[in-house]
Structure 1
Amino acid sequence: MFLRIMKKGILVLGLLLITVSCSEYQQLLKSTETAPKYAAAEELYNEGVAEDNNNKLKKALRLFEDIEPELRGKPQGERLVFLVADTYYQLEDYYNAPFQFERFLQLYPNSQKAEEAAYKSAASYFYRSPRYDLDQTDTNKAVEELQVYLNNYPDGEFVESANEKATELRIKLEKKAYEIAKQYHHTEYYKAAIASFNNFISDYPGSPFREAAYFYRFDSAYRLAINSFQVLMEDRLEEAKEFSAAYKKYYPEGEYTSQLEDALLEIDKRLQNF
């Protein structure tokens, strides 16, 4: 019985504190005094980051944006503009965050927070990047912005993270280009597949998909040849052999060697007829 009363008392006290807190916050919003708003907003921001509490971050943001016109051009203005941008970032609003960070950098290019703002602006585009089979505009923008950060801060605090993000995005772009070429192969548009694999091999020399691209370029040429009219077949079989030689040059014990050798036997057999 006593425990039940205690639990009810704690619940009532908690609700009372929330009510008081909400009431105080509403009073702050209506207030015309900048200093208490700023202090409360920064406290809410710090608690929101520490607790991963979006509700507190949203309250902080509302107060920050309310007092920003009053502090513009004043000593506190620099920190305030950064906190507005970072609050959007902490809220994972990756569409507003880069705009706010870029505004901060335009207003305060020599700030001690400039590097962090540049990194988080670029990182926002990274988090906006969609899966590889969708439009990659944001991915390209993220790669560009991360590279700008790395160029400007080669020894910066966030270099390792920026490099990891840039590498992940480049692999995503490579995967998209590779899958487009492979789709041509699977749908039997072999000429388009060969052209796409040629472009891929040229554009992405260090790609993890490079060996597969060499093989499927050969396989596309092989299938194009054996399905050609007789008058075209010989030249196309020879081209396929050239592509097989390129694969074996770079991958003498590659994953696709067995399949390639089987196809080469068929190519040599057919070439004997010419």
Structure 2
Amino acid sequence: MQQRHISKGLLGILVVFFLGSCSPFSKLQKNGSDDEKYKAAVQYYKKEDWYRAGLLFEELIPVLKGSTESEMAQFYHSYTQFHQQQYLLSATLFKKFYETFARSEYAQEAMYMYAYSLYKDTPQFNLDQSNTLTATSALQDFINTYPDSKYRDECTKIILELRGKLERKAYEKAKLYYKTSGFNIASYKSSVIAINNFQREFPDSEFNEELAFLKVDAEYSLANNSLETKQKERYQEAIGYYQAFLDKYPNSKFIKQAERMYESSQKEIERLEKLEQEREKLKNPNNRPAKVTAAN
């Protein structure tokens, strides 16, 4: 019984294969002339049969080199890959097209589609953003090359979207360092550095108020967990961050928490300064005013 089922399955596969091998498309691939294949490829393209059109254009491009059809074959082939969501491949093909046919009426569109293909391949914000940087650069290059293009506004919109991804990635990175700081004192330092980098790169971000507060918190916590020899300097840093935070966000919901750290930092600095003075006295016990004696 089981063998009978296997035989039926195998027979079905053979039938499908046989019918496929006898299809008009297969016959065209095997026996069609270059002219017939090109016309068929264009028809498949117009019908949005990207797969068959792509197969034919890919086959034709080497043999059409130098002909009048070569330019359009390469242009259409690029789009067939784009519509099949092969974005890195379509980016490569569009780039090759505008470099090869720099004077073509389609060169501008191809350069845009190169950048747009890279954009479509960019990952979510929580993944590596190398592709996002590449896509942003390509879009900006397009705007610089064709400042009056009809694609300019769309490029600008996409650049802002990609910049938002980079902003969110940097924000989450800074927050991650902060969240893990309780397990590793080095993460306090990394958190402050990451926040400084974020504020410099995204000065108008909506996340800056929260991060400015977290920087005060991270530096204050770093001071608390540091060796005594480094505490005073780090409490002073925390006070400096607090003052900058207060100046920029005087009505922040984080103000009361930040004030407590500020006051505690001041008290700790006073305590540390007293300890320094006491140690200085112990080091120099004879450093006292000389006694005045009466002259004989």
- Cα RMSD of the aligned pairs, angstroms, is 2.2
Extract structure 1 runs of 4+ deviating beyond 4 A.
Answer: none
Q: Residue in 2 aligned with 1:110?
A: 103
Please say if residues 121 and 131 of structure 2, whose CA atoms lie closer than 8 Å, have aligned partners that are also in contact.
yes
Q: Tell me, in whole angstroms, the C-alpha distance in 1 between the residues paired with 2:204 and 2:26.
A: 57
Aligned residue type for 1:208: E
> 2:136 matched to 1:147?
no
The Cα shift of 1:70 comes to: 3.0
- Residue 45 of structure 1 corresponds to 45
Separation in 1, partners of 2:253, 2:89: 46
Q: Which residue of 2 aligns with 1:11?
A: none
Cross-structure match for 2:191: 193
Identify unmatched segments of 5+ residues in structure 1. Answer: 1-18, 49-55
User: Amino acid of the residue matched to residue 168 of structure 2?
Assistant: K
Tell me if the contact between 1:108 and 1:114 (Cα under 8 Å) persists in the aligned partners: yes
Q: Deviations over 1:77-117 (max 9, x none)?
A: 21111000111111110121011111111210111111211
1:171–1:207 Cα contact (<8 Å) kept = no
**Amino acid in the other structure paired with 1:199:** N
1:127 aligns with 2:125: no
CA distance in structure 2 between the aligned counterparts of 1:227 and 1:27, rounded to whole angstroms: 77
The count of aligned residue pairs is 248
What is the alpha-carbon distance in structure 1 between the residues aligned to residue 253 and residue 73 of structure 2?
A: 56
Residue type of the alignment partner of 1:175: R
Unaligned runs of 5+ in 2: 1-18, 182-186, 274-296
Secondary structure class of the residue paired with 1:27 = helix
Counterpart CA distance in 2 for 1:254 and 1:110 is: 56
Distance 1:229 1:58, change over 3 A: same
Equivalent in the alignment of 1:58: 51
DSSP-derived class of the 2:205 partner = coil
Relative distance call for 1:255 and 1:39 in structure 2 (3 A) is: farther
Mapped to 2, the partners of 1:236 and 1:216 lie a distance apart of 15
Contact 1:129 1:138 in 2 (8 A): yes
Aligned residue number for residue 3 of structure 1:
none
Q: C-alpha displacement at 1:242, in angstroms? A: 0.8
Task: Give the TM-score normalised by the residue count of structure 2.
Answer: 0.76
Separation in 1, partners of 2:33, 2:177 = 65
Superposed displacement of residue 199, structure 1: 2.2
Partner of 1:34: 34
Q: Hey, what does 1:7 align to over in structure 2? A: none
Confirm or deny that 1:226 pairs with 2:190.
no
In the other structure, the counterpart of 1:261 is: 259
Structure 2 residue aligned with 1:91, among 75, 84, 87?
84
Higher mean alpha-carbon deviation, 22-31 vs 110-119, is at: 22-31
* Cα pair distance change 1:164/1:256, threshold 3 Å: farther
Shift of 1:74: 1.6
C-alpha distance in 2 between matches for 1:272 and 1:171 = 43
Equivalent residue, structure 1, for 2:25: 25
Query: Quick one: distance in 2 between partners of 1:254 and 1:120?
Result: 44
TM-score (norm 1): 0.82
